[in-house]
Structure 1
Amino acid sequence: MKKILGIAAAIVCLLVLSGAQLPQIGPKPDTKPQQQETIDTRAIETAPKPQPKPEGITTNPDNPIDKDAKAKGTDAAQPEKQGPKLPSQQSLEEQHLTIEAESDAEHSECVRELQSLGVVFTDLSRIDDGNGCGIDKPIKVSEALPGIKLKPDGVFRCPVALALARWMKESVIPAAAVAAKDQGAIVSVNQASSYICRLRNSAETGKISEHARGNAIDVASFSFEKGDDIAVQPRREDSTLVGAFQRTVSAAGCLYFTTVLDPESDAAHETHFHLDVLQRKGGYRYCH
């Protein structure tokens, strides 16, 4: 036995010295063909590469998608083009506005219609307070209709006075005759603002107000021959005739004005109607 073991050990030594490899146990794993590697490499090389982000593109931090992406630390936010500041981000001085010229013919026609309705008014000299604040052909109205005072006197463009007179005559007075018949006739319309040089909602930044262009009036209440004034205030849930009156005249306002904001619009208008004659594309009207 010892002799056999010695012979085996000698054979192993000879194999090692000669550089021969011992047989591996089990089948040798197949390697990927060289052709497949070439195809994969070629596919990678020809794949489209991501394009670099164009200049002038940034994300919008106020965009909910951008905020979510930023929170996750990703670039999934939608890009937004940079550009000049929006008017809502500019102060009044930065908007470089001018006073809009009014047509002589249109103004004359408007004045004739005011006179036919019995509106009491006087012509004023051109108002120019700078920064786009002013009126080319202003008027001062003291009576919205015969016997109905405008308190205090209102200064604006003729189209505002005309819209106010028509609204009062055709909608407000008939509605009041039903809702407040025991209080007699309306004797005054009490306004909170006519022409004034300021931004919208008296903010420090934003777009110029239509009041600053002579295009708007804020109506705060109506006074009657007897009884209490009817004040403009939140009345959505008011089931009385007074509540019905306010909702009726607010809705009717959009037949005459291009913008109507009432106490249900926002906190800034809880005490008055904002009525203006801003001209928009396509004759669009905003009434809330």
Structure 2
Amino acid sequence: MPVICGAKALKRPGWWILARNNARFGRCVLLFGLLLLAACQTAPPPPPPPQDPFAACLMDLEQRRIVFQRVPDWQTSDGCGIQGAVKVTASLIPWNRSLLLSCPLAAKINEFEATAVQPLAQRWLGQRVKRMLNAGSYDCRGQRGDHPDRLSEHALGRAIDLTGFELEDGTSVSIRHDWAGNGAKARFLHHLAGAACKIFNMVITPDANALHHDHFHLDIGPYKACSVATRPEAN
């Protein structure tokens, strides 16, 4: 088919209809292109609001059925304070007082109760633990002993002092009175301390020094130590 251009095209009947249709088609193509370009350049959706950095830990506590309250984080001028703070009112085993500590420590304590305290109590004492006794968790202070200028892990909510247990029949097990013995209570305590060393980073027992004659210091700080002397009577 011959192509008609120039003046001849203008003389052809209906040429203005073709021109009008072509112009309309061109505008449609241009509009479609602009819309497509705009869609491609649409800004991505805004990021979700920042999540609690300890959200996974808090969910873990809920799955473990630990009863706790999220406490606002804080820090004092001298460096004390807790990040990921929780107040635990009920764990696997009841405690003599509520625990104010970091979420990761709460999870470790629950693991300690489930995998060490109850199985070893059943093995060595023939019954389960009814209540655990502690002398404190959060405490804004320096370390006792060789490094008084260094903040204690208690000051960061990453440590707890365990003093003893109450059994189902009402019997008491005291670290102060029963650690140095050679009976079932001593065996229970020594095996428990050894198990704690596999869960916590720092475990300080009466074997370490006189400052810990009546409790286990358990923490999840950056330093690792397990002050449990091997004793034949505890095997």
Q: Give the 5 Å matches for 1:178-189.
A: 178-181=123-126, 184-189=127-132
TM-aligned CA deviation for residue 190 of structure 1: 1.0
Q: C-alpha deviations, 1:62-117, integer Å up to 9, x for none?
A: xxxxxxxxxxxxxxxxxxxxxxxxxxxxxxxxxxxxxxxxx956512212222222
Alignment equivalent of 1:279, drawn from 215, 222, 229: 222
State how far apart, in whole Å, the 1-side matches of 2:163 and 2:129 are.
Answer: 14
Match of 1:138 in 2: 85
Per the alignment, do residues 272 and 104 of structure 1 end up closer, same or farther by CA in structure 2, a change over 3 Å counting? farther
3-state DSSP of counterpart to 1:151:
coil
Residue 167, structure 1, aligned to residue 112, structure 2: yes
Match of 1:17 in 2: none
Q: Give the 5 Å matches for 1:19-168.
A: 107-145=54-92, 148-168=93-113
State how far apart, in whole Å, the 2-side matches of 1:267 and 1:248 are.
Answer: 20
Number of paired residues? 178
Q: Is the 8 A contact 1:199 1:209 kept in 2?
A: yes
TM-aligned CA deviation for residue 236 of structure 1: 6.0
Per the alignment, do residues 277 and 267 of structure 1 end up closer, same or farther by CA in structure 2, a change over 3 Å counting? same
* Structure 2 unmatched runs, 5+: 1-49, 228-235
Per the alignment, do residues 200 and 115 of structure 1 end up closer, same or farther by CA in structure 2, a change over 3 Å counting? same
CA RMSD of aligned residues (A): 2.2
Residue 253, structure 1, aligned to residue 196, structure 2: yes
3-state DSSP of counterpart to 1:150:
coil
State how far apart, in whole Å, the 1-side matches of 2:146 and 2:189 are.
Answer: 27
Q: 1:207 is matched by which residue type in structure 2?
A: R
3-state DSSP of counterpart to 1:121:
strand
Match of 1:91 in 2: none
**Normalising by structure 2, what TM-score?**
0.70
State how far apart, in whole Å, the 1-side matches of 2:97 and 2:213 are.
Answer: 20
Match of 2:166 in 1: 223
* Structure 1 unmatched runs, 5+: 1-102
Q: 1:115 is matched by which residue type in structure 2?
A: E
Q: 1:245 is matched by which residue type in structure 2?
A: F
Q: 2:213 is matched by which residue type in structure 1?
A: E
Q: Is the 8 A contact 2:179 2:185 kept in 1?
A: no
